[in-house]
Structure 1
Amino acid sequence: MVKVLSINAGSSSLKFKLYSMPAEEVLVSGLVDRIGHQDGAFSYKVGDEKHESVQPIEDHTKGVQLVIDALLDSGVIKDKSEIVGVGHRVSHGGRKYEKSVEIDENVENEIDKLATVSPLHNPVNLAGIKAFEQLLPEARDVAVFDTSFHSTMPPEAYMYALPYEYYEKYGIRRYGFHGQSHQYVYSEVQRKFGDAQAAKIISCHLGNGASICAIKDGKSVNTSMGFTPLAGLVMGTRCGDIDPNIIPFIEENEHLSPDEMRTVMNKKSGLQGLSGVSNDVRDVLEAESAGNDRAKLALKVYVHQIQHYVGAYAADLNGLETLVFTAGVGEHSAPIRSRVCKQLGYLGVTIDEQKNKNNEFEIQGRDSKVKVLVIPTDEELVIARETSRIISK
């Protein structure tokens, strides 16, 4: 039995789970939230026992210290050396990292270089890595890249029709993200239903960030995010797919710098930009029911884009066996699932509206030719599995 810590660092948060491996038993799980604020929040759970506190959390190093102190105070570990591995979710691995790797100085430098194409994620992922290296120096650190699961995509799916030299010089291609989530979804379908039902899966990871993945026999063959996590679906604050000529047009007419334009596309667009209400689907649904026309439009665009990708990926798979909804919206928003599936009858998809409202595991109708599943994602478990595999070599 070894103890492995799974880390998912965000710009102002740090999710963690301590696992006993290979049993995959969760010993402690928790969240450090509002990092960088005086009213930072720290919560963790040991068995049925919950602990919560509000306190200043200056930076990620302070957050990591809180995690380690909690593990020691709870008695789950008696000494820091019991944690033999720390797995870190890292957004972008570029062309170099098609698999998870043990972290050294060279890996850290590459993660830093790739911050230009994943500016919202790679820098904070690296901050988390450095904080754990400082406070858990004996543990082996592993980078588990969002992009790795999608390294199996064929060239026709990942290449852009730009001058080939840009691919050679800069690695400009589709990479895809949310790899741990899509990988977990596949493993759950395969575990519960076997290889046949898992042969052709479309996984819809719908959260504030969102992506869809076509999975054939356990391998990603296409995914909606691209060179960066900005491409594909309409998201909470990200625009998703747009005509690329829109970018210089707005920059010229609004007198914006490239950095300002990136902010518009990453933080002021999506549901937030269209609705003018919120980046949260729940808020936009509520505004729609109150008669807000922009909220109604935003949801139509949001749902249409999901339907568009499902149809395209059914073509990539030459059929569809299982449609999966996962992540915050996918797991909890029955109205969104219902609206998406209403236009998928041509694929043989029907849903049982009562099961859908109840957020049941299987929500397909009796006459559906496709299984429709709601699977709570577990990216931290995938990170722990990958970390355990690497440190056991």
Structure 2
Amino acid sequence: MSRILVLNCGSSSVKYRLYDGEAVQEKGTVERVGEPGGGPADHETAVRGILDRLDLDGLAAVGHRVVHGGRRFSSPVLVDDAVFAAIQELVPLAPLHNPANLTGIEVTREALPEVPQVAVFDTAFHHTLPEAAATYAVDRDTAERYGIRRYGFHGTSHAYVSKRTAELLARPYEELRTITLHLGNGASACAVDGGRSVATSMGMSPLEGLVMGTRSGDLDPTVIFHLRREAGLSVDEIDDLLNHRSGLLGLTGVNDMREVLQRREAGDRAAALAFDVYCRRLTGYVGAYYALLGGVDAVTFTAGVGEHAAPVRAAALAGLERLGIAVDPTRNSASGDRIISPDLAEVSVCVIGTDEEREIARETRAVVAAQG
């Protein structure tokens, strides 16, 4: 049971890690899949190339990240034909990601027919959302017919980071109230109460919530109607605008927070505004989740921006001192997994490196072990 291969097939990349227990034997990322400029022609080619390169003798299982599990999948599952078909049925809810996830599963099932395949769903961690958190206030019959509800994403990351926060604080996981902030090119917030997701910022899709690299986050739906009626944009054009040409990119022309910070430091007004919009949205979610949880034990930043952008962490939590939330400047500018709040602060503010692949490997191993 020690050797586990994890495949994380994104829309244009494939990350892989080969574990022996908790140790990483091999890892890498195949990028620009299906794009011009020398990348693999498609995900099938990319995955076959990975399998050909690796020594897979004694492999116990393959764990696959699957973005959308809908309402059916509340935990990781062994993949059989019925599970594969169910994931296919969910493609309309995640058209950019589930097809790539399915390709990874299909190729490995064919290449390694005797090796168990396990699907680990991004949405599964959020199955504990109360109905009041998951329900949108739209016509019930329409919502039921078309699967309109909050599903949430980045669940594997929020699960790993909230557990790691408990370890860092030497506190029981089941007693901790934590706000986790996964801030990468995609970004989401999650309120975790005793190991259960009770609120999260992404909704039916990863578009809702925080300002992201290229996604708008929260938006008045009337903007969509206005663009359709007044600008004559098609539904697909509006989809592209909000998912791929908004967020930091739409406000500044770049989607990398590092460059936004550099421009802001140099006096660029657009970058300064983008930074303020980004951090104001974060502050609002932290305050809202503090209220929903009835108090907070920890706020944890993770992913690329969350782990490396000290000015974002400081600005996002500025003014929350009356809630017991504060950042120590010296600790904030350090590196590694750490607590960055002052000594004796009521709320611990942490920075933790996320490790979705490790969490997928652990969950995969548990699923296979449970089968006996």
| Same-fold call, TM cutoff 0.5 | yes
1:1-393 aligned at under 5 Å gives the runs: 1-20=1-20, 23-37=21-35, 39-40=37-38, 56-72=39-55, 77=56, 79=57, 82-192=58-168, 193-195=170-172, 199-275=176-252, 277-360=253-336, 361-392=338-369, 393=371
| Aligned 8 A contact 1:118 1:229 in 2 | no
Q: Say if 1:365 and 1:320 are closer, same or farther in 2 by CA, change over 3 A.
A: same
Q: Deviations over 1:235-256 (max 9, x none)?
A: 1101111011111111112211
Deviation of residue 69 (structure 1)?
A: 2.6
Structure 1 moving runs of 4+ over 4 Å: 37-40
Deviation of residue 307 (structure 1)?
A: 0.6
| Aligned 8 A contact 1:350 1:367 in 2 | no
Aligned-partner residue type, residue 3 of structure 1:
R
Aligned equivalents of 1:293, 1:113: Cα separation in 2: 46
Q: Say if 1:33 and 1:198 are closer, same or farther in 2 by CA, change over 3 A.
A: farther
| Aligned 8 A contact 2:180 2:301 in 1 | yes
Identity of aligned residues (%): 46
| Aligned 8 A contact 2:14 2:30 in 1 | yes
Structure with more of its chain in strand, by fraction = 1
Aligned equivalents of 1:273, 1:196: Cα separation in 2: 39
- TM-score, normalised via structure 2 length: 0.94
Deviation of residue 296 (structure 1)?
A: 1.1
Decide which moves more: 254-263 or 205-214. Answer: 254-263
Decide which moves more: 184-193 or 262-271. Answer: 184-193
Aligned equivalents of 1:261, 1:116: Cα separation in 2: 17
- TM-score, normalised via structure 1 length: 0.90
Aligned equivalents of 1:292, 1:111: Cα separation in 2: 45
| Aligned 8 A contact 2:324 2:345 in 1 | yes
Aligned equivalents of 1:117, 1:284: Cα separation in 2: 31
Deviation of residue 133 (structure 1)?
A: 2.0
Q: Helix, strand or coil: the match of 1:83?
A: coil
Deviation of residue 39 (structure 1)?
A: 5.0
Q: Helix, strand or coil: the match of 2:199?
A: strand
Decide which moves more: 167-176 or 207-216. Answer: 167-176
Gap regions ≥5 residues in structure 1: 41-55
Q: Helix, strand or coil: the match of 2:316?
A: helix
Deviation of residue 114 (structure 1)?
A: 2.1
Aligned-partner residue type, residue 10 of structure 2:
G
Aligned-partner residue type, residue 323 of structure 1:
V
Deviation of residue 196 (structure 1)?
A: 7.0
Q: Say if 1:352 and 1:153 are closer, same or farther in 2 by CA, change over 3 A.
A: same
Q: Helix, strand or coil: the match of 1:351?
A: coil
Aligned equivalents of 1:168, 1:246: Cα separation in 2: 25
Q: Say if 1:343 and 1:198 are closer, same or farther in 2 by CA, change over 3 A.
A: farther
Q: Deviations over 1:23-61 (max 9, x none)?
A: 322221211122235655xxxxxxxxxxxxxxx522222
| Aligned 8 A contact 1:84 1:138 in 2 | no
Q: Helix, strand or coil: the match of 2:330?
A: helix
Pairwise CA RMSD: 1.7
Q: Helix, strand or coil: the match of 1:325?
A: strand
Deviation of residue 198 (structure 1)?
A: 5.3
| Aligned 8 A contact 1:197 1:321 in 2 | no
Gap regions ≥5 residues in structure 2: none
| Aligned 8 A contact 2:154 2:188 in 1 | yes
Aligned equivalents of 1:57, 1:284: Cα separation in 2: 31
| Aligned 8 A contact 2:209 2:218 in 1 | yes
